[in-house]
Amino acid sequence: MNNLERLRSENPLIVCYTNDVVKNFTANGLLSLGASPAMSEAPEEAEEFYQVASALVINIGTLTHENEEDIMSIGKIANDQGTPIVFDPVAVGASTYRKQFCKRFLEQIDVTVIKGNASEILTLIDSQTTMKGTDSDNSLDPIDIAKKASESLNAAVVITGKEDVIVQDQQIVKLSNGSPLLANITGAGCLLGGVVASFLFRNTQPSIEALIEAVSIYNIAAELAENEKHVRGPGSFLPELLDQLYNLDYATFEKYVNKEEVQS
């Protein structure tokens, strides 16, 4: 069975500690795909949730001093339970506060996948970045950034952008699906973090194939949504993206996936 069909048959529990802006959209996106999201944030119940969860998403989009320690705690509990973590360092380059938190988090917690744009991932491994909010415009090669980040942070790395780059276990792949409308809706990247988590099935050493499936299925859904005649902007794109995630099958993924292996 391929991972998509496994996902639809197992409905894996994905716990999301994510930002306030995207909780609803992330939950609806994961439900549309076939996963079972739970936005549990209390460390008091983390152990019970993570024992049965397929993966945990940690997204720092609305980091505050009230939730810093909770995020550290749940990260440790997930590590203790062997639950894979997808880490999304949203806008880490935008403030010293975010940079310091991410540094501390990644020093103390093992993560399975780190997902971000090139600027965010670069910030995690380099202090010389400028303030760019959540967008990336760095001129460094994303493949180089992903390779360095994967090595130094000991995790699979997914860099999103016009093209996406995945590095896992010294394998590298470049993916070219997606839609420009993803940049016009909030939480597109955050939902992708949840989608990647949905393809982990408690595996802290996922194959690059599982990550390719996750990223490509999401981007192909976006591509198909954009091409629907009734989609005329971000408003109509949003529900159509959910419908595409709901209806997309493995054959469609195979038909449209646009990937290129890169020599490491």
Residues of each annotated binding site for ATP: 115, 160
β-pairing verdict for 171-175 and 156-160 = unpaired
- Is 180 strand, coil or helix? helix
Q: Binding of its own copies at residue 178 (CB under 8 A)?
A: no
Beta bridge partners of 88: 59
β-pairing verdict for 156-160 and 164-168 = antiparallel
Query: Cα separation of 40 and 8, whole Å?
Result: 22
SS3 for 109-125 is CCCCEEEEEHHHHHHHH
Q: Which of 171, 186, 207, 258 binds its own copies (CB under 8 A)?
A: 186
Asked if residue 37 lies in contact with residue 26, where contact means CB atoms within 8 angstroms, the answer is yes
Binding range to its own copies, per CB under 8 A, among 49-57, 112-120, 162-170, 195-203: 49-57
Q: Binding of its own copies at residue 187 (CB under 8 A)?
A: yes
Q: Which of 152, 170, 184, 205 binds its own copies (CB under 8 A)?
A: 184
Q: Binding of its own copies at residue 160 (CB under 8 A)?
A: no
Nearest Cα residue to 162 out of 172, 171, 175: 175
Q: Which of 19, 119, 179, 216 binds its own copies (CB under 8 A)?
A: 19
Beta bridge partners of 17: 58
In the complex with its own copies, which residue's Cβ is closer, 122 or 172?
A: 122
Q: Binding of its own copies at residue 198 (CB under 8 A)?
A: no
Binding range to its own copies, per CB under 8 A, among 62-70, 104-112, 136-144, 165-173: 62-70
> Which residues neighbour 71 within 8 Å (Cβ) at sequence distance 6 or greater?
17, 58, 60, 63, 105
- Tell me which residues in 201-260 interact with its own copies (CB under 8 A): 232-236, 238-247
Binding residues for substrate: 39, 187
> Which residues neighbour 248 within 8 Å (Cβ) at sequence distance 6 or greater?
4, 217, 220, 221, 224
Q: Binding of its own copies at residue 163 (CB under 8 A)?
A: no
CB of 107 to its own copies, least distance (A): 19
In the complex with its own copies, which residue's Cβ is closer, 28 or 150?
A: 28
Q: Binding of its own copies at residue 98 (CB under 8 A)?
A: yes
Q: Which residues are at the interface with its own copies (CB under 8 A)?
A: 13, 19-25, 27-28, 31-32, 36-42, 44-45, 48-49, 51-52, 61-66, 70, 91, 94-98, 131, 133-135, 183-187, 232-236, 238-247
